[in-house]
Structure formats: structure tokens, C-alpha cells
A and B are shown apart, each in its own frame.
Chain A
Amino acid sequence: MIPVIEALLPLFVGAPLLVGGAFFVAPAHHRLRQVLGAASLVALLVGAVVLVVITADGTVLAHQVALWPGGIAIPFVADAFSSLLLLVTAILSTVTFGHLITSGEARSPSIASFVLVLAGGVAGALLTADLFNLFVFIEVMLLPSYGLLVILSRRGDLGGSRLYVTVNLLASTLFLAGVGLIYAVQGTVNLAELAGAGDDPATAIAAAVCLSAIAVKAAVFPAHGWLARTYGAASPAVAALFSGLHTKVAVYIIFRISAVIFEGDPAWMTPIIIVATITLLVGALTSLGESEMRPLLVFQMVSGIGFILVGVAVFTPAGLAAGVVYMVHHMIVMGSLLLIAGAIEQTYGSGHLSRVSGLRTREPLLTAVFVVGALSLAGLPPFSGFVAKYALVQATAEGGQVLVAGLLIVASLLALVAMMKIWAEMFNGKRHADVELLAAEARIRERHALLDDQPVDADAVAEEAALAVERHEPPRGAETAADDDDPHEHRGTRVPVRLLVPSLVLAAISVGLGLGAEGLLQLAEQAAAGLVDINDYVRAVIDR
């Protein structure tokens, strides 16, 4: 049974790439493409579940492509850590693809292909045990992202896309140079053969070049500024997809290189913990200054990356496990919050905190989903954030970094303040008189596919807004309610439920992870055990 599964490992990469490629050439019906794309992503999800079940007891699956002997072949490896991450990325791509379909953004025929190729590249980056292949799979993952960014860029200006391509190409070039240096000093780029090679100073420097390149991709301070610019310009669903996949894959590689090449050498973990702490504080503080929902969330994301890296820098089994739990929690919750921001932006035409307000009384479901996401991000029980933060703070304090543990709590409080800022301005308070006009304008723009800086006839907007208010009957008993002075209070635009379903699913997962934390913690401990003791990994890759 197990050898068959091992031989199927390359399928996690190959199948999405093949299906995505087939969409490009086959003249499939548009709806059929969406259905087949969603089905492929669900299949990937099921496969990832199977992998997690198999590797949950510490088994390491390894397949040498074309059955070349170990050390020569290109290996695909799945251990508990990579399987868990593969599962979460599969969940995120499926849910985000659902959002792309329901929000109508998947109208462009190539979207399904792009998402599939992206999923294939991510699976490849997570499963490969060869540094050069890692570079190739990162590029496979990035190329469809450029397409997604450009096609779904909303404002007709490509500044964000240009910055994204430039930053990522620069980081990739640096990473490739690091791979070349490692090959020059060690004569191999196979991760298993490089195990423990960080003792050699020349190899350590070469690996550090790779690590710094990956840190740029992970948006670690001081190279985090590009993230807000590019994710703010992207379509919300794309931002949610990238937040879960791209930066987290980079963080995964930092985990892997720290564990396999450096074996948690304190001399290398100290710089990481310093950089991680600055990242989490800078992200948390910067997000407080933002006045739009999405950039605010994106800086919370930067902060979250700092949290995860503190876990790897502590490099105790508990610290690594906490980092893994935090990473899973962060991917899910950030996806949920960014998709909510997307739903608000699409319905009301703006994500500006001062333009949209009073959502609490009008959008009970949206409010509920947001509250779950926000409290989970801030780290309150019973959501997944509490489990992740509690484990991380405890592990950091036990690892001797009491100051860092305190700063983690401070950053969590800052996250709570940031969420309260969104709550106070967007959800609480009275509905702005012109929100209905904003929403009407957004609908007209979408109907006529107008860019955001093209003018819209003001009379048409007013007409559309009046239509929306008339179309929705006031709920029973509204006439006798106290808020008679605001005729729009119970009528007018609502966020459609179909736009909320994806974020609702993710929020439900967050609650589930919070209540059933035991299972996730066990998986994370298994993943951490595989990182602390890399013998199984090395044996699986080389000795077969």
C-alpha cells in the first residue's frame, strides 16, 4: 500500500498542472471549466487528507522520480509537516476558488487554469527535497500568480503587479545564486545530503543567501513593504489566496532549511528571532495606522509571519509545534478575513473604514463571520487563535525568551486594537447616507465592466440606489422600531449570502480548530518531531 502511495506523490504536482494546462488548450465550456477546476481542487484536498492520515504517525514517504537511486534522482518527500501544510493550502485554494466563482471574478476563462497551476506549484514546493527543484516550483507557483494579479487587478493600473513581479524575481535570482553557491561548496543540492552541512562556514553562508532570499518572499522585516502595496492592489480573493499560499510556502522553506541544514544551531536562530520579533511588532503597529480594511489586514499578516518565525527561532519541539499550529491558524483566519473584506468591497464599492459603516445592524451573518475572524486573530478563546497564541507564548517562555514572549502578548493586544478599529468604524455606528450611493455605483461599474477611475453618471447612480431601497421590503415590525429617522436602516443593499459562504467555511474551520485543538496539536507535535530529528527524513530520501 505504502509504495503505491509513494509512487503517487508526484501526482500532487503533476495532476493540477496537467488539468490546468489542458484548460488552456481545450476549448471547454466555461461553466464546465469551473466545475472541473473545482473538482480537481477537491481531489487534491482529498489526496492531502490521505497524506496527512498516513504521515500522522511520523512515517516519511519518499519517491525517487524515474526510480533513479537516491541522491541522483529528484526526490518527492511527504512528512507530517509538509502533508499538513499541503492540506491547508488545498483547503484555501478550494475555498478561494469558490469565492472567485461566486463573486464573478472567474469570468475570465483562464482563471481556473491559473489557480490549478498555482496549486500544483505550491504542492511541488512543499513536497520537493531538492533545492534547485524548489526554485523551479517557486517559479511555477509565481507565474500563474502574475497572471491572476494582472487579469484581476481592479484599478486598471498595474503598479502593484509590476512591484510584485520585480520583488519576486529579485528574490528568486538571489535564491538561485544561493543554490549555486551551495552546489559549489557541497556538490549537491539534495536537502537530505545537505543535512547538518551548516557546520561548515562556507555552506552556512551559502545557505544564508538562500534564507535571506526566502525571507524577502515571506515579507520579513525589513523587506515587508512590498506586501501591502501589491496585496492592496490585487483583487481581494487573489489577496486571500496569495496570503495563504505564497508567504506561507516561503515560511515553510525557512522552517525546512533551518531544521535540515542548520539543525537549529543557536548561532543562526538568534538573528532569526530578532528579525521575527521586529517583524511582528512592525506589522502590528503599522496596521493601526491604516484607514482601509485590506491594508490593515495585510499588515496583520506581516505581524503573523513574525509570530510563526518566533516558533522556528526558539527551535524546541514545543516551539516548532507552536509555530506550525500558528501557521495553520493564520492561513485559515487571514483567508477568512480577507474574503470578508472582499465581500464588503465588492458590495459597497469601498473598503475604506470611514466610508462604510453601520454594518452591524444590517448584516448579521457578515458581522458574525467577522467577529469570529477578528477574535480568532486577536487570540481569544474558543477560537483557533487562542490555542496557537497560548502554545506559542508558553513555548517561547520555556525556551528562555521571556522578553519575546511578552512582546508576543503586546502584539496580540495590538491586533485586538486593530480589529476594534474596524469594528468601531465599519460595523458599529450609523449607516452613512451615501453608502447606498457607493453600493449602487459599484453595481453599475460591475455591470458595465467600468474601471474604477472611469466616470459614472450621477443620475444613474441615484436611480440605482433608489431601486435598491425600494426592492427590499422593510422587515415586519420595522415601522414601529425606534430608528424611524433612518429610512435606509432596514432596506437597501446587502452582501449576498453566496459571497459570505467561503469566509463562513473558513471561520467554521477556525472554530473547529479551536474546539478540537487536541488533534491539531498532536499533528503539529509530530511535524515538529520530524523537524527536530531529521534522521527519518534523511533515511527516506537517501537510503532507498
Chain B
Amino acid sequence: MSLALGIGLLAAAGVYLVLQRGMIRIILGFVLLTHAVNLLLIAAGGVARRDAPFFGGDTSSAADPLPQAFVLTAIVIAFAITVVMATLAVVGRGDDDTEPPAAGHDTDAATQEAAP
């Protein structure tokens, strides 16, 4: 139950932040969202059995190692992309809060001509 609540809270907060303007808030939102998904993966393996999987030979109480491997991989990937996003947030001159220019090359020139 606490796991489900945790996933729900993290996902809700993550979605809220992702919908904000500004790259930093979006990044924080994604951090929360990926945490929610990681918890979901852990929960997918069943949390009732939690012993170390490879000791003692008795596997009846051993944790399922596969979701743990999933989470480990997912954490690494999410971390890498978070770094890419953080880089994108600080390089480039564009401000996220301004209106995006329309796609294409000289749209700006075209609108300037049209303006006067």
C-alpha cells in the first residue's frame, strides 16, 4: 500500500512539474516520474519476498532479481538523459518562456517584411 501511494504521489508531482514552463522544472518533473516508474518496476517483482536471491540455496523467500536488474538499467538510462536535458537547459540562447519561432529558416525575415 505504501509503495502504491508512493508511486501515485511521485507520478502526480512529476506530471504536474512536466506540464510547467521552463526546462529546469520539466527536468525535476522527469526525475520524479522516473522514480515513480522505478518503484513500479520494483513492485512488479513482488515485495513480499526480500531475501538476497543467490545465497543459501533456498529460493522460496528470495527476491526476484529481474526487476532489480531492470531498475538498475533504467536508473542509468534516466540519469544519462537527465544530464543531456540539464545540458540543453543551460546551453543555447533561447529562453523557454518565450514563444517558439515557427520551424524553418527565414520565417523571421518573412514576418519582418510582412510587418510594416
Q: Which residues of A contact B (CB under 8 A)?
A: 132, 135-136, 139, 142-143, 146, 150, 154-163, 165-166, 169-170, 172-173, 176-177, 179-181, 183-184, 228-229, 231-233, 292, 294-295, 345, 349-352, 354-355, 452-453
Contacts and interface: CB of A to CB of B under 8 A. Distances in A.
B110 A352 contact: yes
A180 B73 CA distance: 13
A292 B81 contact: no
A183 B92 contact: no
Contacts of B89: 162
A184 B47 CA distance: 11
B105 A452 contact: yes
B52 interface: no
Nearest to B39: A180
Given A156-B93, A157-B101, A161-B88, 12 more contacts: A136-B77, A156-B92, A165-B85, A166-B30, A173-B30, A177-B36, A183-B45, A183-B70, A228-B103, A292-B103, A349-B106, A453-B108
B41 A176 contact: yes
B44 interface: yes
Of A132, A176, A294, A354, the most chain B CB neighbours within 10 A belong to A176
Contacts of B81: 139, 142-143, 165, 169, 172
7 contacts: A166-B18, A166-B85, A170-B30, A180-B40, A183-B44, A184-B43, A229-B103
Contacts of B108: 453
A292 B106 CA distance: 10
A177 B107 CA distance: 40
Contacts of A228: 103
B37 interface: yes
Q: Is the interface of B mostly helix, strand, loop or mixed?
A: helix
Nearest to B69: A132
**Which are the 10 A-B pairs with shortest beta-carbon distances?**
A232-B103, A158-B92, A184-B44, A157-B94, A292-B104, A180-B41, A183-B44, A180-B40, A180-B44, A159-B100
B115 interface: no
Contacts of B100: 159, 163, 229
A155 to B, nearest CB: 7
B104 A294 contact: yes
A294 B103 contact: yes
A231 B103 CA distance: 8
A162 B88 contact: yes
A173 B70 contact: no
A351 B85 contact: no
B48 interface: no
B70 A166 contact: no
Given A159-B100, A229-B100, A352 B84 contact: no
Interface string B11-32: 0000000100001001000100
Contact of B96 (A154, A162, A295): A162
A351 B70 contact: no
Contacts of B37: 173, 176-177, 180
Contacts, number: 121
Interface of B: 18, 23, 26, 30, 33-34, 36-37, 40-41, 43-45, 66-67, 70, 73-74, 77-78, 80-81, 84-85, 88-89, 91-94, 96, 100-101, 103-108, 110
Contacts of B18: 166, 170
Contacts of A352: 104-107, 110
A181 B103 contact: no
A132 B88 contact: no
B45 to A, nearest CB: 7
Contacts of A183: 41, 44-45, 66-67, 70
Contacts of A155: 101, 105
Contact of B85 (A169, A172, A176, A355): A169
B64 to A, nearest CB: 8
Of A139, A142, A159, A179, the most chain B CB neighbours within 10 A belong to A159
A47 B31 CA distance: 40
Nearest to A233: B103
Nearest to B7: A177
B104 A139 contact: no
Nearest to B85: A165
B104 A169 contact: no
Nearest to B81: A169
